[in-house]
Amino acid sequence: MVESSNDDLLAISRLLSSKFDILLTNPPYVNGGYYNDITKNFIIKKYKDFGSDLFSVFIVRSFDLVKPDGYLGYVTPFVLDVYILL
Enter the pTM of the model.
0.64
Residues of the chain above pLDDT 70, percent: 83
Question: Is the backbone of residue 51 left (phi > 0), alpha (psi -120 to 50) or beta?
Answer: left
Of 25-29, 44-48, 71-75, 76-80, the one with minimum mean pLDDT is 76-80
Written as one letter, the residue type at 39 is T
Give pLDDT tens digits for 58-85: 888 899 899 999 999 998 876 666 656 6
Cα distance between residue 22 and residue 70, in whole Å: 6
Q: Determine whether 57 is exposed, middle or buried from the number of CB atoms within 10 Å of its CB (0-12, 13-18, 19+).
A: buried
Q: Is the pLDDT of residue 25 over 70?
A: yes
Domain ranges (residues) in the chain: 19-84
